[in-house]
Structure 1
Amino acid sequence: MSGSASTERLSRLLAMVPYLLRHQGIPLEEAAEHFGIGTDDLVHDLELLFVCGTPGHMPDDLIDARWDSGRVYLSNADPIARPARLAVDEAVALLVGLRTLAEVPGLHDRDALDGAMTKLAEATGEAAAAAGSVRVDVRPGDDEQLAGVLATCRSALAAHRRLHLTYLVPSRDERTERDVDPMRLVTVDGRWYLEAWCHRAEGVRLFRLDRIEAAQALDADGTPPARAVSRDVQSDLFRPSPDDLLVTLDLAPQAAWVVDYYPVQSTEPAPPGAWEQASLRVRLRAADTRWVRRLLLRLGAGARVVDPPELATEVREAARAALARYRGTAPGAPDTL
């Protein structure tokens, strides 16, 4: 099940418990229609509710769901159905987070956010006062170039205008010109990204704002096409792109875990004539080789670069420099690498 489907199902289950408690004996078909799902999906949800309970529960504390008669009966679910109460520190953290989110450029559903903050502030006077004294800076820092690009992207989003970007592709050290229809601005791990439909790539792309050398709003409609679907940036930020550099690595058995934790494009047994310790040959794409260099330095003797050769040289030089600093010698001194 995808992350979005799992989130949707969790929201439905949380709404389902109080609804079914208020409508004991409701026919399966009617309950399914209320939640906009089929009866088979409803039964699957009820089967999951059957093994749910409050944290630290005993077996007798699990929700009791019955539907064999064609009607749904729910019991032992009152604690879950009651609204949760926030402690003061929880309410402060939530209010600060909501106010910080409100400052993020390109936010679409701002009315819902303002309404949630107003209701929460009214319900938690002490927490609202404490949260009002906290300030979180979500500006892009002191980089005037980055701030200018951010402002242009934000204006284009608000006006639904197409953008013309001059964008640096680090893996090829190449500047590209492309027209994009902006979808949203997001921050991940302290970096700003523009998610947009790229007319050059004919697909949705994420552009790091610090790699946008110039951004110009065009006098053209920038509404993305219907097939432009946002990605989950928390779990799918580094989706491989055809624009990325293709890297081939040979991995020793102790480094085989890499294929489980990194977006590997292909995996095969190491071919005859490969590095003698290699058990796997993997290929992956990287928009920026810096993280690949860090990975290879971490793997040490467990990996070798097959291609591109310049990456192997970069890793070797970085390892020599690190070894020289460790030994307290000059970077150019002879070593065993």
Structure 2
Amino acid sequence: MPKVQSQRKFLNEINGFFKERQFFTRYCPQLNTHCVNILEDAVPVCHFINEETFIFDDLHAEGYETLSARAPLQMDCIKTALITLAKLHASGLILEEVKSFRLVDDFEEELKESFYLGTDSTEFAMRSCKSGIRALIDLTHRDDMKISKDLFTVKALEGCDLQKTFTKPSTRFRNTVCHADPWTKNFMFKFEEGKAINCVAVDFQTYRYGPPAQDVLAFIHLVTDRDFRSRHMNELLHFYYEKLDDNVEKFGFKNVVTKEEFFDSCRYFQQFALTQTITHFQVVILSDEIANELFADPENARFVLFENKYDFFKMVCEKDPLFRKKNFELIDELREFYENRLL
């Protein structure tokens, strides 16, 4: 558990420690009980848990690496991580088919959405994200844009509030276990001759019950740039779906999630993925220099990020070209999303 009080409070409010503990002490053993041995090389082995501490295998000692969130992942890493996500998603689908029940009937507290519940810390974080979005819109606005700055601001901030709807279990698409925080640092990669050969997903503090596309779209946006997505999005979605379907078929089940349903759900979660990536990128791609200076005093960092985010964000965009490029690119993509919807 974090020692810094504000971080500890945040983790307690999102039930993060409880959720991770339950993932490794209830969900994974349930898979093993029903011989759904699909996550053996996709999640770390957890050896010990108490009220304050987890002990896992040392994946670094086994040759796994954590990559920088500031650089887009290469295709081999992306596909290896999608294979891991497909295994995680398939595990829930298979378990539901084997037991003929919904996971939330047995894992209600573990799979409950915890970030968008309106606690003090999460509402604080959301206000901060909205402040960052306002700064981005101001910094990127031009008079010749198709949508006015005021209307775009309204829609973008409404989009933040809509995350609460997107993260509820779907009544339209098939749900399963979703990681819910699939950014670069939550995947560890093992390489052989310069190519990724396996990927392990870590950090299950916010996992939830939802459609697989929710994770897949968010992951692809979080680890690639816009040009890469424009060239490879369709390829990656087909690749993921084939892996998901293959995993489910290995256990004797077919069409648990049809291709048509999956691609329909991908279209539905496009707005969710763009908004989640913008909120993540306001923090997770800070340069080491700025991050080290900021987090030298965690309580001051909390003030800067949550109380003074607008001015801080403008300063970072001026000082860090990569931070500016990635965030400007995303806000432009979100603007085009609303232009296509509204105009």
Q: Which TM-score applies when normalising by structure 2?
A: 0.20
Normalized per residue, the structure richer in strand is: 1
Query: Which structure has the greater CA radius of gyration?
Result: 1
* Higher helix content, 1 or 2: 2
